[in-house]
Structure 1
Amino acid sequence: MAESYRRSRWSNALFILPYMTVFLSLLVFPLFWGMWLSLNKSDLFGGARFIGLKNYYRVFSDPVFGQAVWNTVIFVLVSVPTLVALGLFLSLALNKTTRASSLLRGLFFSSTVLSVTIVTLIWRFVFIPGDGLLALLFDKMGWEQIGFLSTEGWSLFSVGVATVWWCLGLPMMLFLAALQQIPSDLYEAAALDNASRWRVLTRITLPSIKSTIVLVAIVQIVMQFQLFGQAQLMTNGGPAGSSRPIVLYIFDTSFIRWDVGMGTAASEVLFLIILLAAMVQYWVTSRKGEA
């Protein structure tokens, strides 16, 4: 009996073998290999030489990396709350069973399925000076044109607008799924008590989807810290590095300058930043929920 039980356990383990193979080969192994590579002096042609923590010293002493970290942190601090707030607002507005709501849900979610190349091409048509949509609008209004993609202060803003438009569909759908799980009895009881809409929102709706709000915030933190394609294709990190995120810095260091060891060290720092930010977000949200 015991032998057949053990045989059954091993046969059941075969069902998770494909997943574990992919997980170990594409996530776990690259993580530890990257840690080892960050301790070596190497380039794209191999020939790694162990140098300890010198790559990390070079990364932290590089002012370009410091600027990239600052750009990314500012981008995350602005884009993540915007995505959470807009996603929640749209889900509350479209949480209905009408044809118009279904059409608008599909419309807002449609941008999410586009590739980053298409998204950046669309928004370059909007922001490009001279013949861009905003340039023509400014001319019509008699205002001076703004070089959104080539002006410090506006370039990162332009990347942020394109990113919010691209990523908004996922938070909206997650919030919609959570809203539809709230028991209707709670709203019926609130209606009998003549509760205001604000009271229903703050006492029933938001507490009921608190875990989804935390999930959306953490997912967006992880995603937006990995900003790359939009910045590369829209501004290439310019002007003067004012829109260069950390991942673009890693790409330039590893594949343009061929300094793989330093680029890997920067990627390990990014991993720690994302992990720390997600943990802080979870801790702060949990503390607010307990209070």
Structure 2
Amino acid sequence: MTDATAPARTIERARRAGGAWIGPDWRNIGFVLPFLAVYVALLVWPLFDGIWISLQKFDMFDGTGAYAGLANYKRLFADKIFLGTIENTALFVVMTVPAFVVIGLGLALALNRPTRIAAVLRATFFATSVLSVTIVTIVWKMVYLPDRGLLTNILAVFGHEPIAFLSSQTLALPAIAIATVWWGIGLPMMLFLAALQQIPRELYEAAALDSAGRWRSFRHITLPSIRRTTVLVAVVEIVYQFQLFGQSLLLTRGGPNNASRPIVQFIYETGFRDWDLGYAAAASEVLFGLMLIAAMAQYLLTRRRGEG
């Protein structure tokens, strides 16, 4: 009968061969030290430094601050403008993230074909994601112009009056969301395409032999196979869309009447226009907390559904 502890004793003897302890070679840490140094300098240190600044009444001009405790956070949650930016940002995330997942998956399914037309369309849809936010906002400002914009001309064909999308409190944020989805749909599409191309074709052939239709194959083969990619796309887009800034600043300046002002724009204006850096840092930490909660909730919810 084989001794179950023999492998462990063999390893122990090998480690102590010659009376010298053979442990992990700590010299290997030299390979990761450059990355760790950059990571700590650019991410970890600014995170904790931002938390410290958020607890101060910080003077931007001379770089000094007086400890204020949680006073900045108390001000934030009594500030109606800041609370409005939380509502705007959360609503924007709700409008865009499901659209990125659904439209991205739909485009990937439609273009997952080895044809030239599909290749051209894939390149076309992905090309928008490499444009700068300035170009995107210029394009969509021309689309939304109430006097001679593209949408105005389309509405005129059907006999409708022009609509000032960017000047409407109810339509400004949805208009920014549409422009954002058009801009960023390329990345989710490519991620879904990569996942779809990893699914073995034999699964679909076996389903076809069992007389399974397209919907049944999609539900029982495609969706389970790309579940991890779906979670990835959702979490990445949640993090991205919580950082809405350039589109709202360039399209509406946060208006009308703060109806499209996001948290990042509030942070920017508070810190670099009003010079209240402690207050802006506190808003930044609230944004970080919201992003973390939303991303983790999406991940845990999707994981639980997948296990169920």
Residue 28 (1) aligns with residue 44 (2) = yes
Q: Find 1:38's aligned residue among 33, 54, 59.
A: 54
- Which string of whole-angstrom CA distances, capped at 9 and with x for unpartnered residues, describes residues 126-178 of structure 1? 01222222223333433211111111111101110110001100000000001
Alignment map for 1:87-236 (pairs within 5 Å): 87-236=104-253
- Secondary structure of the 2:166 match is coil
- How far apart, in 2, do the equivalents of 1:158 and 1:77 lie? 14
Residues 43 and 127 of structure 1: CA distance in aligned 2, closer, same or farther (over 3 Å): farther
* Deviation for aligned residue 1:9: 3.6
Asked if 1 retains the 8 angstrom alpha-carbon contact of 2:142 and 2:149, the reply is yes
User: Can you give the 5+ residue segments of structure 2 that lack an aligned partner in the other structure?
Assistant: 1-17
Q: What amino acid maps onto 2:58 in structure 1?
A: S
Identity %: 54
Cα deviation for residue 237 of structure 1 reads 0.3
Paired amino acid for 1:131: R
Q: Are the aligned partners of 2:248 and 2:254 in contact in 1 as well (CA < 8 Å)?
A: yes
Q: What does 1:57-96 correspond to in 2, within 5 Å?
A: 57-96=74-113
Tell me the distance in 1 between the aligned counterparts of 2:111 and 2:201: 16
2:66 is paired with a residue whose SS is strand
- The 3-state SS of whatever aligns with 2:58 is strand
Q: Give the C-alpha shift of residue 256 in structure 1.
A: 1.1
**C-alpha separation between the residues in 2 aligned to 1:123 and 1:131?**
13
Structure with larger Rg: 2
Q: Does 1:282 align with 2:282?
A: no
Map of 2:9 onto structure 1? none
Deviation for aligned residue 1:15: 2.2
Q: Which amino acid aligns with 2:221?
A: I
Residues 242-261 of structure 1 aligned to structure 2 (within 5 Å): 242-261=259-278
**Where does the alignment leave 5 or more consecutive residues of structure 1 unmatched?**
none
| 1:73-111 deviation digits (Å, cap 9, x = unpaired) | 111011100110000000011111111111110000000
Deviations 1:17-64 (A, max 9, x none): 222122111100000000000000013212211010000001110000
* Corresponding residue for residue 8 of structure 2: none
SS in 1 for 2:165: coil
Equivalent residue, structure 1, for 2:4:
none
> How far is the alpha carbon of 1:287 from its aligned partner?
1.4
Amino acid at match of 2:210: D
Determine the C-alpha separation between the residues in 1 that align with 2:156 and 2:212.
49
SS at structure 2 position matched to 1:149: helix
- Tell me, in whole angstroms, the C-alpha distance in 2 between the residues paired with 1:44 and 1:135: 45
Q: CA deviation at 1:3?
A: 8.8
Q: Is the 8 A contact 2:166 2:251 kept in 1?
A: yes
CA–CA separation in structure 1 for the residues paired with 2:145 and 2:81: 26
Q: 2:13 — aligned with what? A: none
Number of matched pairs: 289
TM-score calculated relative to the size of structure 1: 0.96
Please say if residues 95 and 174 of structure 2, whose CA atoms lie closer than 8 Å, have aligned partners that are also in contact.
Answer: no
Q: Distance in 2 between matches of 1:140 and 1:184?
A: 46
- The alpha carbon displacement at 1:14 in A equals 2.3
SS in 1 for 2:275: coil
Structure 1 residues 3 and 44: alpha-carbon distance in aligned structure 2, compared to 1, 3 A threshold = farther
Mapped to 2, the partners of 1:43 and 1:238 lie a distance apart of: 28
The one-letter amino acid of 1:13's match is: I
Instruction: Give the aligned CA root-mean-square deviation in angstroms.
Output: 1.5
SS in structure 1 opposite 2:69? Answer: coil
SS of 2:261's equivalent?
A: coil
